[in-house]
Amino acid sequence: MPPKQKSKSWEELKQAGNNCFKTGQYGDATNLYSQAITALEKSNKKNPEDLGILHSNRAAAYLKDGNCAECVKDCNTSLELFPFNIKSLLRRAAAYEALERYRNAYIDYKTALQIDCNIAAAHDGTNRMTKALTEADGLSWREKLPPIPTVPLSVREKLTQKTTASAAPQPNPAPQQNPAPQPNPAPQPNPAPQQNGTKQPTKPAPSDKDRKKAQTLKEEGNSLVKKGEHKKAIEKYSQSLKLNPAEITTYTNRALCYLSVKQYKDAVRDCDEALMIDSSNIKALYRRAQAHKELKDIKACVDDLNNLLKVEPKNSAALKLLQDVQKKK
């Protein structure tokens, strides 16, 4: 009798699945990942993180095959086992987008950006979702969103290190502008999206005490703006930002004050900071366009207004300013 073949380990099955994925055999990859999941669950070395990665890999194969509902299920399981895994967030976002569940997709893209603000696919996805939600729900679309999870600093640091070392396949998760069932680009064997790129140093998350104090200072600044005391408001906003440097409205409020006191370069810098947090923020785009206009940088002004109008095509202030600056060309 021929010797009985030894069963493949979950690592071998995972690698075989990765190889099938790379060559576009997504059905075979799904089957192999399923076998790997079963093998790992039966083994004595069951590790939640390894299991989470396998579910994320199978989600990628489902996504490429257009099976978005199963992709979401696997990503949900993966994120329970391996919280805030970037790849699972991006894959689930892409699946939600294809299913036209735009609010859920927006939340996942924004959560991924908390972990790594350099992920181009997440920025692009956020922009697409902002446009789709504005068209669907009007200017109050943000009020209908579920809460965005706050990613702890310890998790961000851990995940940015680990995702680079992970060997799961990485399809580019963002579908085309009009979401189709299958995302477009080819898979990449080394997944971490721009994880090896230049990253900004992660700032510590403010404590609850600092966040409350920052909010109080911001509100004091708002009161001063209403009185026309813009220089004093700038001081309050600056104090607020020292305590909570991630509060986007404080940057856009201070930018408004800088415009009022004709400190246009400072206004541009504040809008830049705001747009690094939310690349489609209407106030930041509009106020930066105003500052560029005053600095005689008409091209930059027009670019900002065009980007704003992609998000809000009927924004009357932007349309009027665009008309004004185009006359001056």
Answer CATH for 10-188 from 1.25.40.10, 3.40.50.10470, 3.30.420.40, 3.40.50.450: 1.25.40.10
What pLDDT, on the 0 to 100 scale, is given for residue 329?
Answer: 61
Alpha helix ranges (H) inside the chain: 10-22, 26-42, 48-64, 68-81, 86-98, 102-115, 120-137, 153-165, 208-226, 230-243, 248-260, 264-277, 282-294, 298-311, 316-327
Give the Cα separation of 36 and 49 in Å (integer).
14
Low-confidence residues in the chain, pLDDT < 70: 1-6, 156-206, 329
Handedness of CA 227, 228, 229, 235 (dihedral sign): positive
What angle do the packed helices 68-81 and 86-98 form, to 10 degrees? 150
pLDDT for position 180: 36
188 phi, psi to nearest 5 deg? -115, 135
pLDDT at 161 (0 to 100):
60
The pLDDT assigned to 76 comes to 95
Q: Are 93 and 179 in contact (CB under 8 A)?
A: no
Regarding pTM above 0.85, the answer is no
Q: pLDDT value at position 178? A: 37
Query: Using alpha carbons only, how large is the chain's radius of gyration in Å?
Result: 23
Would you tell me which CATH number, out of the four given (3.60.15.10, 1.25.40.10, 3.30.230.10, 3.30.300.130), belongs to the domain 208-327? 1.25.40.10
pLDDT of residue 118: 81
Q: Fold match between 10-188 and 208-327?
A: yes
Inter-residue contact 160 to 115 (CB < 8 Å): yes
Residue extents of the structural domains in the chain: 10-188, 208-327
Residue 150, pLDDT score: 85
